[in-house]
Chain A
Amino acid sequence: MTAYLDGALSPRDTERFEEHLAPCDGCSAYLEQMRATIAATGALRAGDLPPVLEEGLLEAFRDWKRT
C-alpha cells in the first residue's frame, strides 16, 4: 500500500492493486483513511520552536556573520 501511495508499483501491480480495491469497501475505506492520516500528519508541521532556541540561533547567525 505504501509503495502504491508513493507511485512506486509497476503499472501491472498498480492495476492489480486497483482491481482488488475497487469492489472492496473495507480496503477502499482503509486506503482513504491512510490518505487522511498522511494529510493530518502533514498538518503537524506548523509547530513553533522554543523561543529561547530561536533567539539562540539568531544570535549564532549574527556571530557567524561577524567572522
Chain B
Amino acid sequence: MRSVAASGERSVVDALRAGDEAAFARLVRDLGPSMLRVARRYVETPAVAEEVVQEAWIAVLDGIDRFEARSSLKTWIFTILTNIAKTRAVRDGRTVPFSSIGAEAGEGPSVAPDRFLGKDARFAGHWAAPPERWEGADRLLARETLAVIDREIAKLPPAQAIVITMRDVEGFDAEDVCNALDISETNQRVLLHRARSAVRQALEDYLR
C-alpha cells in the first residue's frame, strides 16, 4: 500500500469532512512533498510553489463536500493543484508546462547512439557499450544516490519532471496522470520515457 490516500480513501474523505485534524495532517505529510515538487515546476520560486500548495489545500477543503469519488482522492487533489499552479504561472507570465508538449518531450535518443555499433560493424545496431548490471540495492537507495535522482529531475524540462514525479515518485498510474494533467496517453508515455532515461543515465554515471 503506497499511501494513506489509497488505503481506506473513503474513511479519509469522511474524516476530512468531519474536521479531523490528525487525518488532514497525515494526508498533508503524505502528498505534500510531491505536490510541492510538482508546483515548483510551474512557478518561479520555491516560495510561490508553497503558496500554490497552500492554495490547493484550501480549495481541497472547500470542495471536499462536493468530492464525488469519480477519480481517486489523490488524482482529484493533484488536478486541483495543477490547475492552480497553471493559473499562477499564467498570471506571472511564465510558459505553462504541457502547453507545447512536442518541444518539452525533448529531442534525441534515450541512449547515446555511440553506445551502439555503427552500420558498418558486423553486429550493426547491437550494443557497443552495453549497460552493466548494478550491484547492491543498498547503494541505489543510499541518501547520496537519491540526491543524484532529485537533482536530475530538477534539471528536466518541466513537463517531464511533473510526469516522472507523479508516476514514479508518487506512484500514480498512467491513466490518473493523463486525467490530472489533461494529456494524451502517448504524450504521457513519451515524457515519462524521456525522464526515466535521463535519470537512468545519471545513475549510470554516478554508480560507475
Binding site for B on A (CB under 8 A): 1-3, 6, 8, 24-27, 29-30, 32-34, 36-50, 53-54, 56-58, 60-62, 64-65
**DSSP majority for the A interface?**
helix
| A3-B189, A33-B204 given; A64·B28 CB < 8 A | no
Smallest beta-carbon distance B76→chain A, Å: 17
Are B54 and A56 in contact, CB atoms less than 8 angstroms apart? yes
Residues of B within 8 A of A (CB): 19, 21, 24-25, 28-29, 32-34, 36-37, 50, 53-54, 57-58, 61-62, 111, 126-127, 130-134, 137, 140-141, 145-146, 149-150, 153, 164, 168-171, 174, 185, 189, 192-193, 196, 199-200, 203-204
The listed residue with most B CB atoms (<10 A of its CB), out of A3, A33, A39, is A33
16 more A-B residue pairs beyond the given contacts A33-B203, A47-B33, with a C-beta to C-beta distance below 8 A: A26-B130, A30-B111, A33-B200, A36-B134, A36-B140, A40-B203, A42-B169, A44-B150, A45-B33, A45-B170, A49-B36, A53-B36, A54-B32, A58-B28, A61-B61, A64-B58
Q: Which residues of A contact B53 (CB under 8 A)?
A: 53, 57
| B131 A54 Cβ-Cβ under 8 A | no
A33 to B134, CA, bound (A): 7
**Nearest 7 A/B pairs, CB to CB:** A26-B130, A26-B127, A47-B33, A2-B193, A41-B168, A49-B32, A65-B19
B16 to chain A, nearest CB (A): 9
| Complex: A33 Cα to B71 Cα, angstroms | 32
Chain B residues with CB under 8 A of A58: 21, 24-25, 28
Asked whether, in the complex, the Cβ of A45 is within 8 Å of the Cβ of B149, the reply is no
CB distance from A25 to the nearest CB of B (A): 6
Taking CB atoms, residues of chain B closer than 8 Å to A47 are 33-34, 37
- The CA-CA distance from A30 to B203 in the complex, in Å, is 12
Which of B126, B130, B199 is A37 in contact with, Cβ under 8 Å? Answer: B199
CA distance A39 to B145 in the complex (A): 12
Residue in B closest to A40 when the chains form the complex, CB atoms: B140
